[in-house]
Amino acid sequence: MASNHQSRSGVPSLPPLQPDTTRLLSSSLFHEVKSICVALSAMSLAPAASFDPQSHKLLSTLSQLQETLYHHKHVHTRGGNAYTLAPNFADYVFFPLSNLLKQSVLSDQIITNILHIISFLIDNCWVPNGQFSDTLADQLFPVTCYLIKGSGGNIEVMLQPKSSEFRMACTAATTALVRGVDRDYFAGNDMKRLSLLGDTSSVLLALLKSFSNPRSLEESETVKQLLEAMTRLFVHRIGTEKLTHIFPGVVSTLIAFVADSATLHWSTITEVVDLLRKLVVRVFDDKTLGVEPQTRDLTPDSLNHEWENGKENEIDRVHYTANVSVDSGNEHTSQSWLKATSKKLKLSLNTLFKSVLFQAHRGKVGQKQQLGDSIVFFVRDIYTHCFWSLFDELFALNIDVLCLVSYSRCYPDIGPLDQESQTQVLTEIIAYIEYAILHKASDLPGKLLTLKLEDLIDNKMVGVMKSTSEDRILQFFVSLRFHFLLLKKLDPPQVQQLIQRQIVKLKGSLVDVSVFTGAQMSRGDKKDFFKSYTGDTEPFENDNKLDNVQLPPYVNANNLKPLDNRRSPVSKKEVVSDLLHLSQMWTLSGPQEMSSLCYFEDNFSSQVETALSDFLSFLNGISTDRLLTLETLISGDTSHMDRGISLWLANQLVQNMKSEKFDIDEFLVLGDTEKQDEPADETEEMAYLIVNQSQELIEDLAPFLEDLTIVSTSKEEMLQNKMNEKSYAVALDSLGVLSSYLPKDEFKEHFLIEYLFPLFEALTFNSNTVIQSHAKNTVSLIAKNYYGDSLTELVLDNSEYLVDAVSLKLTSPGALTPALPGILLIILKVSGLKLLLTNQLSDILSQIFILIDSYHGYAILVEGFFIVFGELVAQIKQQYIPDRYLRKLDYHHSLYKPWGMTSIEEARALVDESRKVLDPFEGYDREKEYFHRSQDAPFSQLQEQDKEVDENPPEKEEIWTSMVPKNIYFIVQRVFIYGLRLLSHPSDVLKIQLLKILIDIYPILSTNYSLTLPLAADHWSDILALFPHQGQYSEEAAIKGLEFLTLMLETDRLQKDTFFSERFLDSCRMLLQRFSPSRHTSEVVKIDRFKRSTNVRLLKALCGYLVTGLNNYERSVPIGMAIQIMRIAMAIGTDGVSLGPQARNIAWVIRNQDVHVH
């Protein structure tokens, strides 16, 4: 009956085969190898003089024997069956091998085959049958080591040129020996076996080194066999005392193997870490060594003095001393041994984790959790079993290692985890070591962790924040979070104090980074800028640098004068361009994530800023006194930059806090003695502290916004302006943050009324994306929190305050800024016509017209207002002018009867109508009273009544024919009149802007055509003058002018009127003068010259104007003028221009025959 068996090595084995099965397997294999062994014996017994180690027959016979053995096993184990051969079969096969071993010279191929056969016999014959005795091991160990090492020398050097097959055979034989020996084989102090232990260890370590950077799957599997054999040998086969002697060499070899092998599979690294963990625990176990702790006090200064300052991509190393005493009862493992060996171990582990967590294998830790777990278990077991023996060297290092594992999991290659997931990762890792540390019942870990965290905050932070490596900064924040979470477990009272310290240092670091890395300033600029913020120039007194370049001693940087940097105003075109861009592209989507608004975009990446924001939220979450933390943060600031950075940090602290919106009356207790003793909610106080800072900063920086139209070329001023911009932007952010904590009525009454106008003003800063993007975010948050995510509702609900603020600015000449038109533009875009329909914009529009009358010489101001008018007109047009009203022109029916007839039927109808006799009483209604006279009155009285009627005729009520409401129509008409008047302005940019708006207005006014014609007629010549027949002119203005005139003609046609016919003919006489033939130049040549020298768009506009007039007024255009018009049009090209019957006829004549006009 089969039963569970365990081999002498202690490793579970398969159930033994029945004797019959073993005998049958051995017999079948014996018949296959018998002839081979006989032949091999004959060759191996040859005299040394005639023995040829390179004999092809010998090599092929050995290879055949090896292949036969392994093939037989492969065939009989396909179904998972156990495979065991009889011991006497091994003796039979080994006999010819023993003869070969007596030869003095053996080739590598022979040794390779022999080692594979020995490995086969150990695993399948001797060990399964319990026949692998110590005596046999005493024989095979030296033989195997001799075959591998040769006669002596450095085994590593000897293995280096060997083939991969040779080294694999060495591995197979050595690992088979280690698996086969008894657990206590190396337990004694027998010198022979100690020598064998040394040789075997050397062989295993040398073989492992030889497989550095495995190139195939077979080599990787061989490495795993070696690691498994080392685990058996060093952990299960030898005692702790012996292990302490070879421990340094084993550890250094394992770590060098990992560090030098960039292509190692993650599972191989995991096995190395697991083996190291077992070795370290065996050697440094506190109980085995009899370690007792004796602590001493450390100060931050002494700690920092002993701290080994690593490079950018190195683990921070801290040396702490616990003063342990050793009482192991062994002279070798003394206190001096512990000190020296633990220090070497620290250096080796530093190399290992630097490779695994920083360099070649870094990505594997984040991708494969098993590898990260093996490192965590390594630290856990050291803290559990070797806490005091390795406390001095490894306590701090292990903390840093866990921080780096945490970083790899928080920031894997596929993308960073969110804040909550990162905290969960850190908490899970801390849970592995928490019990091991707390179980020691000592306050030393907490004290040392506090000192370590203080050092990170005080000494490391500034350098890290200035680093150009994003990874280093992200690692630092993960490390800080890990330290805070662990310290909260070990020494909770210290956490709040360190949070205060962290906040202050972090703010100082950010100020320092903003000052010194925000821009590359010259020495003089930097010195002045530093003094403006700190009042001190000491850091630069001994600095002989210019533009951050160290000058030689013979050049004095103080004597070098910088160039005179002057502030130059931004061109008017840029301001107007910004406003036009705002008009065309302005949108305000839903609220953005706060982390996407990068305050430190010039210093850090968005990912780093997000990590910084998450870290601040984390600190707020673990703080036991949040209000104190916030007060510490925002106190003591003087400069705008300091206040802006503090405010940004404060926003990050509270933005993720969950709180119900509260009533301001509970915070502002005025005259209510009953409530004065009630403590205010912490969240309420924090919100008000932040908003007060925000209010003060907005007010203080308001004058700065007036200088946004000034661009400075001074590096100092540029940096200072940038800091002010960011400070103002973050102050706006605070209003959005506050909207999450206050009820609508309180927020509106105390904050929104006062700061909605600055918010809308900031939305207009199209050239300043920092302020604009933050303002967008804030407005969106307010709309989301209070107005159902509707910006229209936000504007309408606060329209009274907005309108009053704009009106006040318009009536104060000193308050006029380029931002005012932008604010009106945004209000119109958001609210549409609702404010206009409720007459809330009437006063503002009236004031604008007054300003245009008073300041029409200031083109930039007028252009801005007309951009606002353009938006107003566009919305009116969209609201009231249907698409059918803007139908295409129809030239199939002439306005001049009987012109335009195209069929016999139309001619007959005309004749029939001319012969028709008209009835003078047609349409007369006998029942209708056409004249009314008072009844029963004397004739004289009736006469007096008639006189009164004649003297005071009743006013007829005018019938309004336009689909546009009367009040809105006259507002648009007033804009139209002002636009026509300003066409004489010298600014070409303004003219073009005006013409664009006039073109949009004309279809609106044409809905009451009788009111439009006088205005158009009065200014016809002004528009035509934009394209004079000679002299300089603006091509763009001329194009728009011709397009406007063409629109007038098209509208005249739509209205079935000929009002502009005479004006068109007069304009043609003027325009065609430039093409009239002269004594030396024909008309054709002039047309060709004009075509080649004129803008294509202007040619198209001219062609469209001339052809449209010809289509409209047909035969009223003299035939000579009509022919000249068509010649010009055909020379320019009539593509895209509709030709009426008259134009088509003339075009046909011109193409087919010469026309002579007499």
- 698 contacts: CB under 8 Å, gap ≥ 6: 728, 731, 732, 755, 758
My answer on whether omega of the bond before 591 falls inside 30° of 0, hence cis, is: no
Give Cα separations from 925 to 290, 371, 920, 998 (angstroms).
Answer: 132, 106, 13, 47
Nearest to 467 by CA among 308, 312, 310: 312
pLDDT at 892 over 90: no
Q: 870-893 as b/e, with b when 16 or more CB fall inside 10 Å?
A: bbbbebbbeebbeeeeeeeeebee
Which residue type sits at 82?
A
Which residue type sits at 252?
S
Read off the pLDDT band of 829 (50, 70, 90). confident
pLDDT at 679 over 50: no
Read off the pLDDT band of 937 (50, 70, 90). low
Beta strands 567-569 and 710-712, pairing class: antiparallel
Predicted pLDDT of residue 737: 79
Read off the pLDDT band of 691 (50, 70, 90). confident
| Stronger pLDDT, 705 or 685, i.e. the higher one | 685
Nearest to 538 by CA among 527, 551, 552, 549: 527
**Lowest mean pLDDT across 23-32, 380-389, 393-402, 807-816:** 807-816
* Alpha-carbon torsion angle 1105, 1107, 1111, 1114, nearest 10: 110
Read off the pLDDT band of 399 (50, 70, 90). very high
**Lowest mean pLDDT across 18-32, 225-239, 697-711, 799-813:** 697-711
Domain boundaries, the chain: 1-132, 282-491, 504-538+568-577+596-668+679-787, 790-880, 966-1152
Read off the pLDDT band of 381 (50, 70, 90). very high
Q: Is the dihedral of CA 534, 537, 538, 542 positive or negative?
A: positive
Predicted pLDDT of residue 719: 72
- 870 contacts: CB under 8 Å, gap ≥ 6: 583, 993, 996, 997, 1000
Highest mean pLDDT (candidates 362-371, 874-883, 1034-1043): 1034-1043
Can you tell me whether residue 129 is helix, strand or coil? coil
Question: Measured between alpha carbons, how far is 294 from 323 in angstroms, rounded to an integer?
Answer: 5
Mean pLDDT calculated for residue range 813-830: 79
Predicted pLDDT of residue 480: 94
Read off the pLDDT band of 15 (50, 70, 90). very low
End-to-end Cα separation, the chain, in angstroms: 134
| Stronger pLDDT, 1054 or 514, i.e. the higher one | 1054
Predicted pLDDT of residue 822: 82
And the tokens for 126?
């001797």
* Alpha-carbon torsion angle 211, 213, 214, 220, nearest 10: 90
Which residue type sits at 436?
A
And the tokens for 53?
């180690």
Mean pLDDT calculated for residue range 513-531: 51
| Stronger pLDDT, 12 or 947, i.e. the higher one | 947
Predicted pLDDT of residue 468: 82
| Stronger pLDDT, 209 or 526, i.e. the higher one | 209
Q: Which runs of consecutive H residues, i.e. helices, occur in 535-597?
A: 538-541, 572-585
Mean pLDDT calculated for residue range 39-53: 84
Nearest to 156 by CA among 249, 94, 47, 40: 249
User: How confident is the prediction for the chain on average, in pLDDT?
Assistant: 79
Specify the DSSP element, H or E, that contains 1036. Answer: helix 1035-1054
Q: What percent of the chain has pLDDT over 70?
A: 77
Read off the pLDDT band of 113 (50, 70, 90). very high
Predicted pLDDT of residue 961: 83
Read off the pLDDT band of 282 (50, 70, 90). very high
| Stronger pLDDT, 1076 or 462, i.e. the higher one | 462
Give the DSSP letter of residue 546: E
Read off the pLDDT band of 306 (50, 70, 90). low
- 640 contacts: CB under 8 Å, gap ≥ 6: 697, 700, 701, 704, 723, 724, 727
pLDDT at 316 over 70: no
Highest mean pLDDT (candidates 143-157, 299-313, 373-387, 894-908): 373-387
Residue with tokens 């409720």: 838
pLDDT at 1061 over 80: yes
And the tokens for 803?
């309108």
Question: Measured between alpha carbons, how far is 349 from 317 in angstroms, rounded to an integer?
Answer: 11
Question: Measured between alpha carbons, how far is 812 from 164 in angstroms, rounded to an integer?
Answer: 91
Which residue type sits at 938?
P
Predicted pLDDT of residue 890: 62
Read off the pLDDT band of 929 (50, 70, 90). low
And the tokens for 708?
């946004």
And the tokens for 440?
């020691």
Question: Measured between alpha carbons, how far is 928 from 1014 in angstroms, rounded to an integer?
Answer: 38
Question: Measured between alpha carbons, how far is 167 from 219 in angstroms, rounded to an integer?
Answer: 9
Predicted pLDDT of residue 296: 52
- 861 contacts: CB under 8 Å, gap ≥ 6: 816, 818, 821, 851, 855
Predicted pLDDT of residue 936: 57
Question: Measured between alpha carbons, how far is 250 from 155 in angstroms, rounded to an integer?
Answer: 15
**Lowest mean pLDDT across 666-675, 891-900, 1019-1028:** 666-675
**Lowest mean pLDDT across 237-241, 457-461, 599-603, 626-630:** 599-603
And the tokens for 1050?
């098209």
Angle at CA 285, nearest 5°, toward 283 and 287? Answer: 135
**Phi, psi angles (nearest 5°) of residue 357:** -100, -15
Question: Measured between alpha carbons, how far is 493 from 503 in angstroms, rounded to an integer?
Answer: 17
Specify the DSSP element, H or E, that contains 38. Answer: helix 19-44
Predicted pLDDT of residue 241: 87
Specify the DSSP element, H or E, that contains 33. Answer: helix 19-44
Predicted pLDDT of residue 482: 94
By the 8 A CB rule, do 1009 and 964 touch? no
And the tokens for 129?
């049958």
Q: Which runs of consecutive H residues, i.e. helices, occur in 358-415?
A: 362-367, 369-385, 391-410
Paired with 12 in beta bridges are 6
Question: Measured between alpha carbons, how far is 664 from 680 in angstroms, rounded to an integer?
Answer: 10
Predicted pLDDT of residue 764: 80
pLDDT at 278 over 90: yes
Predicted pLDDT of residue 309: 47
Predicted pLDDT of residue 925: 64
By the 8 A CB rule, do 167 and 211 touch? yes
* Alpha-carbon torsion angle 1122, 1125, 1127, 1128, nearest 10: 180
pLDDT at 503 over 80: yes
What are the DSSP calls for 771-821, one per residue?
HHHHHHHHHHHHHHHHSTT-HHHHHHHTHHHHHHHHHHHHT-GGG--THHH
Read off the pLDDT band of 637 (50, 70, 90). low
Instruction: Give me the count of residues in the chain.
Output: 1158
**Lowest mean pLDDT across 416-420, 572-576, 1114-1118:** 572-576
| Stronger pLDDT, 73 or 772, i.e. the higher one | 73
Read off the pLDDT band of 725 (50, 70, 90). confident
What are the DSSP calls for 228-292, one per residue?
HHHIIIIIIIS-HHHHHHHHHHHHHHHHHHHHH-TT--HHHHHHHHHHHHHHHHHHH-HHHHT-B
**Phi, psi angles (nearest 5°) of residue 802:** -65, -45
Q: Find the helix packing angle between 493-517 and 626-634, rounded to 10°.
A: 30
Residue with tokens 């006999």: 95
Predicted pLDDT of residue 758: 84
Mean pLDDT calculated for residue range 148-176: 86
Give the DSSP letter of residue 6: B
Read off the pLDDT band of 634 (50, 70, 90). confident
Beta strands 545-546 and 549-550, pairing class: antiparallel
**Lowest mean pLDDT across 654-668, 687-701, 1128-1142:** 654-668
Predicted pLDDT of residue 398: 92
Mean pLDDT calculated for residue range 475-489: 93
Read off the pLDDT band of 886 (50, 70, 90). low
| Stronger pLDDT, 951 or 226, i.e. the higher one | 226
By the 8 A CB rule, do 782 and 828 touch? no
Mean pLDDT calculated for residue range 736-742: 79
Question: Measured between alpha carbons, how far is 214 from 225 in angstroms, rounded to an integer?
Answer: 13
Predicted pLDDT of residue 591: 45
pLDDT at 320 over 60: no
What are the DSSP calls for 152-193, one per residue?
SS-HHHHHTTS-HHHHHHHHHHHHHHHHHS-TTTT-S--HHH
Can you tell me whether residue 317 is helix, strand or coil? strand
| Stronger pLDDT, 406 or 583, i.e. the higher one | 406
| Stronger pLDDT, 652 or 169, i.e. the higher one | 169
What are all long-range contacts of 79-85, with beta carbons under 8 Å and residues at least 24 apart? 82/14, 82/15, 82/16, 82/17, 83/25, 83/124, 84/16, 84/17, 84/21, 84/22, 84/25, 84/124, 84/125, 84/128, 84/129, 85/22, 85/25, 85/26, 85/29, 85/124, 85/125
